[in-house]
Structure 1
């Protein structure tokens, strides 16, 4: 789990709950993690004891300064009588991580306190062949390999330093060298290396000393040296002030009328927008989450673009008035779409195809398969139409129509299960089963109707009629094949075992909110109300709404349907919003918004799930989709309020 991420779209730094830097991404958000999740330690020496701030001797408060991407961190150790207050940020327009450190001597006598900052780079995501050295020209420590350079410096100048071997034979690293309060001063080391610098501060009783620390990231020595010179010319405090002011202006730029929303809901809404921005690469990819801890249980991570998640996030940004980020996402999609008109499971931030587990070959039937979740294709087109409908940027729409909309819509028209007229089997949004899914069908209807809108806009009436007809056929087929009169609600899916044989899956699944959300059926249609009642009644667990019945993923207790997911809980709020006829009808939705705000971490971060037993956030954090779903729900709530 990660907290207080700071970034600018090309340089992202994340922390764990102990305030250790754990992930350093450059030059893309989510791509090239130059720490591989290993901690950058923070140590404090006093004449009586040395202590790492990750130890249980420290109390910690990890927050942000209001309406900024500048952290507000307080660390305190009563045993050694030291308080440390830190602010961290990544400069809004330069690849510089900055930290301001204020150290207070809580002792009744003057004394020296030494601060040690450790760096465990694994450049290009491996520890082999790195170099760390002291550079006298810049007075800095530099780690580099090939085209990646990281320059580390302080003001005032650090008093001691060491470079050395780590994770090699009996060498743990230079952080161990710091524990006696004195660094060896090794000036250069190659191979598997780390470094530590020391600040020696003479502080009177009850007084404080302050220093600045920064890491400049670049692709050459000249890059980082120039950034270092720029910091020294502009002054570190000016960078802090500029960056804080920039983010305050950014999060308030649209002067959104937030009505009479409670202050905690407004605070999480704004924090969500800022956190979402840290997870978006400047080239357009919207990353699901950047938390390398997940690799310990999955041997992979969430630092990828799933176009489904990206489409939901882009739509939330559009609702909030951040059209530029959404446009960059759609441009990215136009570059990576498959020649056959669909999106693969996930992508890296540079546009390359990411790791995946959807097979292209059916070993049982000895036949090829399309390795996709079709909703990922449909939702990009749906979100693009929502974007156009809001901003009416016809030049932008025209640019993407031929390269993105038409091939995807043609694919959705053709990728059909002919006996039922539903979309052909593909993987579901949870990526755990293949079949014909209610969520996927609803998203395809939304995507095809969006494509029909674009075709009409550009006077291609035959195409518009084709896409609209295909959407209507799927709606009729959903009534026939996916609605269960026996259960009085929709089925989750039709599960295909082999050939054309399938079995209905009546599992209650929160994703079936899609039926009204994408306009397939009206919110008050009895088929929808029966389904949503089942979701509310059978998926409610302590903490919110579970994904589906008997969800085994990271399951905390067999006594409930599964863990609560923030997105699923907020989808129920969307239903309350959609069906409200009076402002009083919106109270259940507002209660959910307030509940989610109360469940956020002190920093405002939302993870993927809530443990129904302990109430703690679990799985990756922050999850971009959790934050975007909150933003969308707030806007849809306000829109409904204004309609009364």
Structure 2
């Protein structure tokens, strides 16, 4: 096994903080990747929430807070749409997918006019969870986000059972276990942190328990979590339900079996594939997914495996210290690589989400070198 020298990791952590904070927009939005053709000009709630969590864990308090300010602005801007969605669901006539909220917004909070695989619920749970984690970590007052959190809770409670696109903008016809994990984490965190209170907090806690129960009832095969209801395959995003989201206890039989299944099916020499049928850019290994699996191992007490995964993720950095979305050293579907290059150009690099997950796992393992002033 090749181990990244500590001095190189220190430099990469410094570079990662700089990439995230210097590319962040003045209003708090994080670009997914500043130059990649299909991502340019957009901020995802899901990616951004995990970026903010990594920044927060690395001590970039002001950066993370600014992102959650942006989330609150976006949600409140589209509050009337949420009211319409909630009312339609309550009346038994849910709105069609193209009327639901999107996964990504332009930096100014607009819906954007590009065709995209947009209806995704995961980001709405994830931003609530990440905001609560950030507030607890740094003593930030959550009151500034309460109005948006209330709208988000209502949206999730009205819609969580619906099929939608997954983390990878695929399979809108399925109910995805990682999506439900993000929803459960967000509902519980919002209630427990004081982001919402009173009856809404009670409904959020009850909703989180219903979502967890549904995961355990319909999202488990052979003792481990699966990609979607009715599937037998695993997806690397499932690691996040163990850590950092904490929806599944790492020490439980379900957590341990899921870790084994993800590692056995998707990990190759420390690099982690999304899922076995992946064809995107040939189906390479993703640094950010190595970090999610590393966080899950760390939560289980296996710090050696977590460090090995961090070392591999760090080893994918370019000479300029930037981290890509995926690397091509071990492709599942090499015959599909060129079609994506022809369509969108080279793989996204830098990807802020990759940088954030290296920061997050390094912080978990105690290898971050201290906080940067807020």
Using structure 1 for the length normalisation, give the TM-score.
0.49
| Offset of residue 333 of structure 1 | 1.4
Deviation at 1:356, TM superposition (A): 4.5
Say whether 1:265 aligns with 2:23: no
Separation of aligned partners in 2, 1:505 and 1:358: 25
Q: 2:210 aligns with which of 448, 462, 473?
A: 473
Native 8 Å contact 1:287 1:305 kept in 2: yes
Q: Give the equivalent residue in structure 1 for 2:361.
A: 633
What does 1:410-489 correspond to in 2, within 5 Å? 410-416=154-160, 423-434=161-172, 435-455=174-194, 460-484=197-221, 487-489=222-224
Q: RMSD of aligned C-alpha atoms?
A: 2.5
Question: 1:301 & 1:461 partners in 2: Cα distance?
Answer: 39
Q: Please tell me whether the aligned partners of residues 103 and 119 of structure 2 are also in contact (alpha carbons under 8 angstroms).
A: yes
- Offset of residue 303 of structure 1: 3.4
Contact conserved, 2:46 with 2:103, CA < 8 A, in 1?
A: no
Match of 1:382 in 2: 129
Query: Kindly tell me: are residues 384 and 301 of structure 1, through their superposed partners in 2, closer, same or farther at Cα, counting changes over 3 Å?
Result: closer
1:510 and 2:203 aligned: no
> Where does residue 362 of structure 1 map in the other structure?
none
| Deviation of the 1:358 alpha carbon | 5.2
From the superposition, tell whether residues 574 and 543 of structure 1 become closer, same or farther in structure 2 (CA, over 3 Å).
closer
Is 1:290 aligned with 2:34? yes
For 2:321 and 2:13, the matched residues in 1 are separated by 9
Distance in 2 separating the partners of 1:613 and 1:310: 27
TM-score, normalised via structure 2 length: 0.82
Distance 1:505 1:623 in 2: 29
Aligned residue for 1:526?
253
* Cα displacement string for residues 307-335 of structure 1 (whole angstroms, at most 9, x for unaligned residues): 11110111111111111111211111122
C-alpha displacement of 1:595: 2.5
- Give, in angstroms, the shift of residue 591 of structure 1: 2.2
2:261 is paired with a residue whose SS is helix
CA contact (8 A) 2:166 2:179 kept: yes
Cα 1:590–1:491 shift into 2, 3 Å: closer
Report if the CA contact (8 A) 1:606-1:623 is conserved.
yes
Instruction: Provide the rounded CA distance (Å) in 2 between the counterparts of 1:433 and 1:357.
Output: 16
* Distance in structure 1 (CA, Å) of the matches to 2:159 and 2:209: 15
| Inter-partner Cα distance in structure 2 for 1:461 and 1:488 | 37
Describe the shift of the 1:264–1:639 C-alpha distance in structure 2 as closer, same or farther (beyond 3 A). closer
Report SS of the residue matched to 1:619: coil
**2 CA distance for matches of 1:525 and 1:415?**
29
Question: Aligned equivalents of 2:325 and 2:296: distance in 1?
Answer: 20
Q: Secondary structure at the match of 2:175?
A: strand
The question of 1:586 aligning with 2:298 is answered no
Say which SS state the counterpart of residue 320 (structure 2) adopts.
coil
Higher-RCO chain (CA-CA 8 Å, sequence separation at least 6): 2
Retained in 1: the 8 A contact 2:288–2:313? no
Determine if contact 2:236/2:274 at 8 Å carries over to the other structure: yes
Indicate which of 287, 304, 319 corresponds to 1:602.
319
From the two aligned structures, give the one with the greater strand fraction: 1
For residues 35-88 of structure 1, give each alpha carbon's deviation from its aligned partner in whole angstroms, at most 9, with x where no partner exists.
xxxxxxxxxxxxxxxxxxxxxxxxxxxxxxxxxxxxxxxxxxxxxxxxxxxxxx
Q: Which has the larger radius of gyration?
A: 1
Unaligned 5+ runs, structure 1: 1-260, 360-370, 417-422, 495-503, 556-561
Judge conservation of contact 2:227–2:233 (CA < 8 Å) in 1. yes
Give aligned pairs, total: 331
Corresponding residue for residue 144 of structure 1:
none
Question: Higher mean Cα deviation, 348-357 or 266-275?
Answer: 348-357
- What's the CA shift string for 1:372-403, capped at 9, x where partnerless? 21011111111111121122232xx212202x
Aligned-pair CA distance for 1:639? 8.5
Matched, 1:310 2:310: no
The question of whether the paired residues in 2 share the 8 Å contact of 1:489 and 1:530 is answered with yes
- Residue deviations 1:411-449 (CA, integer Å, cap 9, x gap): 111214xxxxxx321111100111211111111111001
Counterpart Cα distance in 2 of 1:437 and 1:309: 17
1:515 is displaced (CA, Å) by: 2.1
Question: 1:594 deviation in Å?
Answer: 2.3
**Which whole-Å CA distance do the structure 1 matches of 2:330 and 2:190 have between them?**
44
Of 393, 397, 406, which aligns to 2:140?
Answer: 393
CA contact under 8 A between 1:542 and 1:612: conserved in structure 2? no
Instruction: Give the corresponding residue for 1:16.
Output: none
Structure 1 pair 356–426 and aligned structure 2 pair: CA distance change class (3 A): farther
Distance 1:413 1:638, change over 3 A: same
Q: Which has the higher helix share?
A: 2
